[in-house]
Structure 1
Amino acid sequence: MTSHPRFPTPFGVDPHDPLLALPKVSLHDHLDGGLRPQTIIELADEIGYQLPSNNAGELQLWFRDACDSGDLVRYLETFDHTTALMQTHANLHRVATEWVLDQVADGVIYAEARWAPEQHLAGGLSLDEAVDAVQAGLDAGVAEAALEGKTIVVGQLITAMRHADRSVEIAELALRHRDAGAVGFDIAGAELGFPASNHREAFELLHRENFPVTIHAGEADGVLSVWEAVQLCNAQRIGHGVRLIEDCDLSDPGNPRLGRLAQWVRDRHVPLELCPSSNVQTAAAPSIAEHPITWFKNQGFTVALSPDNRLMSGTSMTREMRLLMDEAGWDHDDLLWVSVNALQNAFLDLPDREALLDELLLPGFEGSSV
C-alpha cells in the first residue's frame, strides 16, 4: 500500500496560501465525493475494479474533466466509481478517516459528512453497520488529528436518494443514530423529476422528532424545488439553492426585486449551502465571477460556502475562498461572514457552536494578509 501524507495539501491550493490557515466550516461535503485518488486506486486494485486510469494524477484530472460537462446527470455518474469501492466496513472506515484528515489539512474546524448509506450495502453490510463503519472512521480521524494537536468536530448527514423509495427507512436510520454521530438528514441525487414532496412522509417523521433537515434543491431544478423543500418539507437549510436567483428580478441593478419565495428565504434566514465550483460545473451558475453567491451575500441572504465534491471539482474550502477573492471581489470580512453563517447554522448544539465560534473569531482570522 502506498504511504499517504497524513494531512495532504488540499485540492487546487498553493501550499503557501495564507487562506489555508483560516478556520473554516464545511456544511456540504459528500463523503463519496472526496476520496483521495491514490486511495481509489488502492481500493480498486484490491477487488480488481477497472478505473479510467491507475495513475493518481491522471485519475484526479479524469474525475474533474468528466464533471466539467455542465450536465448534472453525467456529473453524478462519476460517483459510480467511488461508491463501488465503499462497500465494506474497512473501506468505509478508511475513506471516512481520510475525509476527516483532509478537512483538517484544509483548516476546517467543523464539517458534516454527507452520504447515502443505501448505496453502500453491496458488500453485505446492513444500513446500521454501514453507519457504524463511517462513524468509527470519522472518530478515528478526529483522534488522529488530536494526536497532532489539531481539533475538528464532525457529524454525519444521513442521506436518502430522491429517485428511490427508502426515505422513511433512511429517516428512521438517522433517528436511531442521532445520539451516535448522526446530526441531520438530507435527500440527494437527480433533482429534476424527483421532487422533495415525494418524500413528505419521511420529512414529517423527522419534523415530529425534532431532527434537523437539509434538502438538495435549486440546483438541477428551479424555484418550485426550493419552495417544496422549505414550505412542504420543513428544511432548515437548502443544499445549493443557487437557482433561487430565478425568483429575483435583476433587470434594474439599482433596484432588484425579490419574489415571494426569495424574500421568505432571505427574511427568515434560511441558509443556502452554495458550492461555486460545483455549481459552475453543473451549469447552475455561469462562472465564479457571476455566481449568485455574491449577489445573495450583498442582498443579506444567509449564505454558507462549501466544496460539495472535492474530488469531482478538484477543489477544497480554501480553493473556493481563493476563487471568490480572486474572481468575485470578496475580501477577508466576506470570508469571515460566510464562515460565521455556516457555523451558526450547523446541525450542532448551541453550546458547541458557541465554543467553536470563539475559535472562528480568533484574531488571526481578521488580521491575516490574504
Structure 2
Amino acid sequence: MTSQTRETPTPDQIRRAPKVLLHDHLDGGLRPGTIVELAHDQGYDHLPETDPDKLGIWFREAADSGSLERYLETFAHTCAVMQTKEALKRVAAECAEDLAEDGVVYAEVRYAPEQHLEKGLTLEEVVEAVNEGFREGERRAKANGHRIRVGALLTAMRHAARALEIAELANRYRDEGVVGFDIAGAEAGYPPTRHLDAFEYLKRENNHFTIHAGEAFGLPSIWQALQWCGADRLGHGVRIIDDITVADDGSVRLGRLAAYVRDKRIPLEMCPTSNLQTGAASSYAEHPIGLLRRLHFRATVNTDNRLMSGTSMSREFELLTEAFGYTLDDIQWFTVNAMKSAFIPFDERLAMINDVIKPGYAELKSEWLFKQTASTSTSTGKRP
C-alpha cells in the first residue's frame, strides 16, 4: 500500500470518490417527502406519518424493529405510491439524482414490475416509465455537475409464478436500459430452483442475472443459485462465511463452496447495514466483509434499501472505514470489483474503470499528498 493513502479518508473524500452500486432497490430508496406528496396526490391515506422527517424516522425504526411484518409493511407503503407512470418516472429520476449527488458514477437499480400494476399499468408501461425516469435523472445530474449511468435490473418475486414472464421482459428491453434480471423475496421455502425455466431462458439468450442468495437461508441457497441456476452474481451472499473456518492461530481454511466462489471470482453484492438489520451480521466490525476482503473474494459494497436503512454508499464506506480502518485504496478496490462485475459490455466497464474511477481516486490521493507535503513544509519552515 502506498504511503500517501494509509490515512483514513474523510467523509468528504468518501463522498467525492467515484463509487459503483450493484444492489439497490428502487422501492427501498424513495425520498420521504416524495412519498408524502405522492400519497396526497393519489389519495393514499395509510401512511403512518405525514411529516417527511417523522416518516423517514418511522421507516428506519420499522426496518430496525426485528419484526418481519413491520419490515415488509415499509415496502407496502412505498409500492402503494408507485402505481402510475408519473410516480414511477419521478421516483426513478430522483433515485438517479440522489445517487449521483453521493458520488455514484454507475448504478444498477432493481425493481419488480409485477408490484406496480394495481392501477392498470402493463408490465411494459412500468419498464418504460422507470427507464424514462432514469434517463431524466441522468440528465439532471449532468446539469448539476455530476456523472452517472443507471441500468435497471428487473426482479421477479420468489413466491410468485411470473419469473419467466419477467425474464422475457428483461430480455426484450435489454438494449433500452435494462441490463439484467433478479429474483427477490423470502429465501426459506422459495428456492431459486422454482424458477429454473426463467434462468434457462436467460442463459439461452446470453443474458445476465443475479439471485438473492445467502442472506438468510445460508449455504444451500448459495449452492443452488450457482450450481443449479448459474447465477452471474450473488445478491448478498454473506452466508458464504459459514464455509470458512478461522483457527485460533489465525489460519484460514475454505470449504469447497467458498473456494469455488473465490476461485471463480463470483461477485458478492454485500449490503452491510441491511445485513445488520436482518441479523445476517451482528456488527460492522464483525461483518464477514472484513475477512472476505482480506481473502480477496470479489466483494462489493452496496446499499440495498437506502430509505429503510437510512444509508447511502458514502455512509456504508464511512462505517466500514471506522470498523476496519479502510483507506482510499480499499474503497477503490471495492469500487473496481463492482465495476468489473457490472452487467454492461466489457469495453464499457473498462472505460469506466480507466477513464472515471482510477483518475478520480488518483486525484483524491494527490490532494492528500499535497496537503501532507504542505503541512510538513509549514512545520519545517520550507515552502512546498
Query: Number of paired residues?
Result: 356
Q: Residue 7 of structure 1 aligns with which residue?
A: none
> 1:77, CA displacement in angstroms?
3.0
Runs of 4+ off more than 3 Å: 70-74, 365-370
Q: Residue 4 of structure 1 aligns with which residue?
A: none
Q: CA 1:41/1:368 → structure 2, altered by over 3 Å: closer, same or farther? A: farther
Give the alignment of 1:107-118 within 5 angstroms. Answer: 107-118=103-114
- 2:101–2:146: 8 Å Cα contact kept in structure 1? no
Q: 1:326 & 1:338 partners in 2: Cα distance?
A: 16
Q: 1:34 & 1:118 partners in 2: Cα distance?
A: 18
C-alpha offsets along residues 110-159 of structure 1, whole Å, 9 cap, x if unaligned? 00111000000001110011000000000111111222332211110000
SS in 1 for 2:332: helix
Q: Residue 65 of structure 1 aligns with which residue?
A: 61
Q: Residue 225 of structure 2 aligns with which residue?
A: 229
Give the alignment of 1:47-86 within 5 angstroms. Answer: 47-49=42-44, 50-72=46-68, 74-86=70-82
More helix by share: 2
| Residue type of the alignment partner of 1:364 | E
Q: Residue 326 of structure 1 aligns with which residue?
A: 322
In structure 2, runs of 5+ residues without a counterpart are 1-9, 370-384
Residue of 168, 174, 177 corresponding to 1:178: 174
SS in 2 for 1:307: coil
Residue of 348, 362, 368 corresponding to 2:344: 348
Deviates more, 1:277-286 or 1:250-259: 250-259
From the CA coordinates, give the structure whose radius of gyration is larger: 2
Compute the TM-score of the two structures, normalised by the length of structure 1: 0.93
CA RMSD of aligned residues (A): 1.5
Give the alignment of 1:124-143 within 5 angstroms. Answer: 124-143=120-139
Q: Residue 304 of structure 1 aligns with which residue?
A: 300
> 1:56, CA displacement in angstroms?
1.1
Q: 1:279 & 1:75 partners in 2: Cα distance?
A: 13
In structure 1, runs of 5+ residues without a counterpart are 1-14
| Residue type of the alignment partner of 1:56 | P
Q: CA 1:246/1:74 → structure 2, altered by over 3 Å: closer, same or farther? A: farther
> 1:253, CA displacement in angstroms?
5.1
> 1:191, CA displacement in angstroms?
1.3
- 1:24–1:110: 8 Å Cα contact kept in structure 2? yes
Q: 1:244 & 1:216 partners in 2: Cα distance?
A: 13
SS in 1 for 2:179: strand
Give the alignment of 1:245-260 within 5 angstroms. Answer: 245-252=241-248, 254-260=250-256
| Residue type of the alignment partner of 1:216 | H
- 1:156–1:182: 8 Å Cα contact kept in structure 2? yes
Matched, 1:24 2:19: yes
Q: CA 1:16/1:250 → structure 2, altered by over 3 Å: closer, same or farther? A: closer
Matched, 1:205 2:209: no
- 1:160–1:170: 8 Å Cα contact kept in structure 2? yes
Give the alignment of 1:34-53 within 5 angstroms. Answer: 34-49=29-44, 50-53=46-49
Q: Residue 366 of structure 1 aligns with which residue?
A: 365
> 1:78, CA displacement in angstroms?
1.3
- 2:11–2:314: 8 Å Cα contact kept in structure 1? no
Q: 1:123 & 1:242 partners in 2: Cα distance?
A: 37
